[in-house]
């Protein structure tokens, strides 16, 4: 007979694995359903922008990648379509980095290594009964339906195209982003402080994506270089291209008696601010904190207890969703007066002083 567990986590991705490690430190017996996803022979081109709060959390779990796979961002530049510019610099905020761009495979490998040395976590091939089930299966979760969760989805009619590029010029630890006629192109620094490799995340309309994915490498390189105003010189495609549809989504309820949602299973936002995984890791930390601080007579699946977790996270996640959605909608509107309005707003924000500082600290998870 299988030994009993206290918490069953469905989904062994970054959020689920992080939560498992946090709960195991509290001597809770955890069943973790799932394992590394097979790549199908394809390279993994994903990269995540992780803020200081996420870095602190993963370092405490001994799951932070080395500097070669988690590049510190010294500056961010956000370019509008008519000369608008907003820039942030770590030196101005008195911090070593504004964020870190982490390669996904090394991060997953670090988490897997930490889990191998955690006897309180058991890998499961299928869910097992437990006082608490936590769903961390991502936005396409099938388990939500078992708990009658309404997942409200608003599609953006956009796809994000991801790829890697070797650049003629070093990236200088600068994360760069361009808004143009509804498209949003970001080049994120990789390979450490002295690197000249970047991760591309290019949000384009659904109708454009198939054509861009089908372009010969040389033409795709030229298109990306032109869209990024040749900021890094000539670009050479260094990976396959991947694409996924974009959406704003949230679960009406995050928890109930004996169950809770975390990460993309509970919410998704537009990637333009790079906050998706940061929100999911904050979910894991908040849920672990609520369980750690529970009254001795409450079990892990107590509904009132889990509502504390929902209340602690839901407002912040909805606020980030509204903010990213508002920016996406603003830059998707063509022509005057929208062009003038948004670029005047960018220029004003650049000189806003305390407001700009507050936004930077918010993005770093330092408020």
Mean pLDDT by groups of 10 residues along the chain of 367 residues: 88 97 96 66 78 95 93 90 76 89 94 95 94 94 91 90 96 92 90 93 94 96 95 95 92 95 93 85 97 94 96 87 68 58 56 56 61
CB-based contacts of 283, cutoff 8 Å, min separation 6: 15, 262, 263, 266, 313, 317
CB-based contacts of 49, cutoff 8 Å, min separation 6: 73, 99, 100, 101, 102, 175, 188, 274, 275, 277, 278
12, exposed or middle or buried, with CB in 10 Å at 0-12, 13-18, 19+? buried
CATH among 3.30.9.10, 1.10.150.250, 3.40.50.150, 3.40.720.10 for 155-245: 3.30.9.10
The pLDDT assigned to 336 comes to 59
The domain covering 7-58+104-154+247-336 belongs, at the CATH homologous superfamily level, to: FAD/NAD(P)-binding domain (3.50.50.60)
94, exposed or middle or buried, with CB in 10 Å at 0-12, 13-18, 19+? exposed
The pLDDT assigned to 63 comes to 95
Tell me the domain boundaries of the chain. 7-58+104-154+247-336, 155-245
| Nearest C-alpha neighbor of 63 from the set 25, 9, 6 | 25
Give the Cα separation of 86 and 176 in Å (integer): 10
Phi then psi for 120, rounded to 5 degrees?
Answer: -80, -5
The pLDDT assigned to 319 comes to 79
Q: Please work out, in degrees rounded to the nearest 5, the angle formed at the alpha carbon of residue 112 by the alpha carbons of 241 and 273.
A: 45
How would you classify the pairing of strands 75-79 and 85-89? antiparallel
How would you classify the pairing of strands 242-251 and 151-167? antiparallel
The pLDDT assigned to 151 comes to 92
SS3 104: helix
């Amino acid at each position: 007979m299988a030994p009993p567990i206290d918490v069953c986590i469905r989904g062994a991705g970054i959020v689920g694995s992080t939560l498992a490690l946090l709960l195991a430190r509290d001597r809770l017996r955890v069943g973790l359903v799932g394992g590394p996803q097979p790549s199908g022979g394809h390279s993994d081109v994903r990269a995540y922008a992780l803020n200081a709060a996420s870095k602190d959390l993963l370092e405490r779990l001994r799951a932070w990648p080395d500097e070669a796979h988690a590049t510190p961002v010294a500056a961010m530049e956000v370019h509008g379509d008519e000369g608008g510019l907003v820039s942030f610099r770590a030196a101005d905020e008195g911090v070593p980095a504004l964020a870190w761009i982490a390669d996904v495979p090394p991060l997953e490998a670090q988490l897997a290594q930490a889990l191998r040395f955690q006897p309180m976590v058991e890998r499961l091939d299928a869910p097992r009964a437990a006082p608490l089930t936590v769903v961390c299966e991502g936005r396409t979760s099938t388990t939500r339906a078992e708990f009658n969760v309404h997942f409200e989805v608003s599609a953006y009619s956009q796809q994000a195209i991801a790829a890697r590029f070797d650049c003629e010029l070093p990236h200088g630890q600068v994360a760069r982003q361009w808004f143009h006629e509804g498209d949003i192109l970001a080049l994120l620094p990789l390979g450490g402080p002295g690197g000249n490799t970047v991760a591309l995340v290019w949000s384009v309309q659904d109708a454009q994506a198939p054509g861009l994915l089908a372009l010969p490498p040389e033409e795709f390189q030229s298109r990306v270089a032109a869209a990024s105003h040749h900021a890094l010189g000539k670009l050479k495609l260094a990976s396959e291209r991947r694409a996924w549809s974009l959406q704003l989504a949230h679960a009406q309820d995050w928890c109930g008696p004996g169950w809770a949602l975390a990460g993309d299973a509970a919410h998704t936002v537009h990637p333009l601010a790079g906050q998706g995984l940061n929100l999911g890791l904050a979910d894991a930390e908040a849920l672990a904190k609520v369980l750690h601080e529970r009254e001795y007579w409450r079990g892990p699946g107590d509904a009132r207890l889990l509502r504390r977790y929902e209340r602690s996270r839901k407002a912040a996640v909805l606020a980030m969703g509204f903010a990213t959605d508002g920016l996406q909608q603003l830059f998707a509107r063509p022509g005057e007066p929208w062009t003038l309005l948004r670029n005047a707003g960018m220029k004003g924000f650049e000189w806003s002083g305390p407001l700009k500082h507050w936004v930077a600290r918010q993005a770093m998870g330092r408020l």
